A and B are shown apart, each in its own frame.
Chain A
């Protein structure tokens, strides 16, 4: 079974609109962490936001927020007020287990339309 599932290979959003990128995960470990990374066309991996399994509040970082629904095992990324520079691949990742290994999803390509 896939540990991290991103069901949207590609998405379009109008500039200044909000967009939600979906991520579901699978783990039996009670302690885990969820991350979102951005990969622009230049290739580097940029850390955006983190959510711990025991965190009571949804994480927020500027225009990024993480909609964490633990019972549904989902950790969707919400980008508010999209900008052209938000066009990129976005990866959801999970850290779990004794060795704290990180598993990545297959990514969502977001394109922001002017």
Chain B
């Protein structure tokens, strides 16, 4: 089983719909992140959370919200989807042991298309 699981893997929806992308992890990491990937722009940070009570905006949080339901679960919501939110979305986790050399562990991504 994957350590970081994203659901759904693919989603096609219409403008104006509310969408939730879910992420769960079995790595026991405190830190969780949501990124979006667009061609030519790399990965951009949407939101990150360092524990259940700590949620922070990333560089492109407008139009998105998140919920950290438990240490292992971090959901991303698009309250009213718009076409320019069509992208590949990644959830990632990282631990805090061993200093800063812990890499982020990524889920397999969610391909979201908004028509």
Which of A32, A33, A43 interacts with B108 by CB under 8 Å? A43
Q: Residue A25 at the B interface, CB < 8 A?
A: no
Which of A56-89 touch B at CB < 8 Å? none
Given A44-B109, A52-B100, A107-B42, A102-B50 contact (CB < 8 Å): no
Interface size on A, residues (CB 8 A): 25
Residue of A with least CB distance to B40 = A106
In angstroms, Cα B35 to Cα A102, docked, is: 10
Could you say which residues of chain A place their CB within 8 Å of the CB of B15? none
In angstroms, Cα B37 to Cα A106, docked, is: 10
Which of B45, B92, B100 interacts with A33 by CB under 8 Å? B100
Please tell me if the beta carbons of B106 and A31 are within 8 angstroms of each other in the complex: no
Residue of A with least CB distance to B2 = A44
Interface of B, secondary structure class, is: strand
Minimal beta-carbon separation of B109 from chain A (angstroms):
5
Interface size on B, residues (CB 8 A): 27
Which of B42, B90, B92, B101 interacts with A105 by CB under 8 Å? B42
Residue of A with least CB distance to B111 = A43
Which of B26-43 touch A at CB < 8 Å? 31, 33, 35, 40-43
Q: Mark A79-114, 1 if CB is under 8 A from B, else 0.
A: 000000000000101010001111111110000000
Minimal beta-carbon separation of B5 from chain A (angstroms):
12
**Which of B45, B105, B106 counts the most A-chain CB atoms under 10 A from its CB?**
B106
Which of A50, A99, A101, A104 interacts with B103 by CB under 8 Å? A50
**Which of B48, B50, B88, B104 counts the most A-chain CB atoms under 10 A from its CB?**
B104
Besides A45-B43, A103-B45, A106-B41, 8 other CB < 8 A contacts? A31-B100, A33-B101, A43-B109, A45-B90, A45-B106, A47-B103, A50-B101, A100-B100
Enumerate 10 A-B pairs (CB-CB under 8 Å) in ascending A order. A35-B104, A37-B103, A43-B88, A50-B103, A52-B101, A91-B42, A99-B48, A99-B50, A100-B100, A106-B40
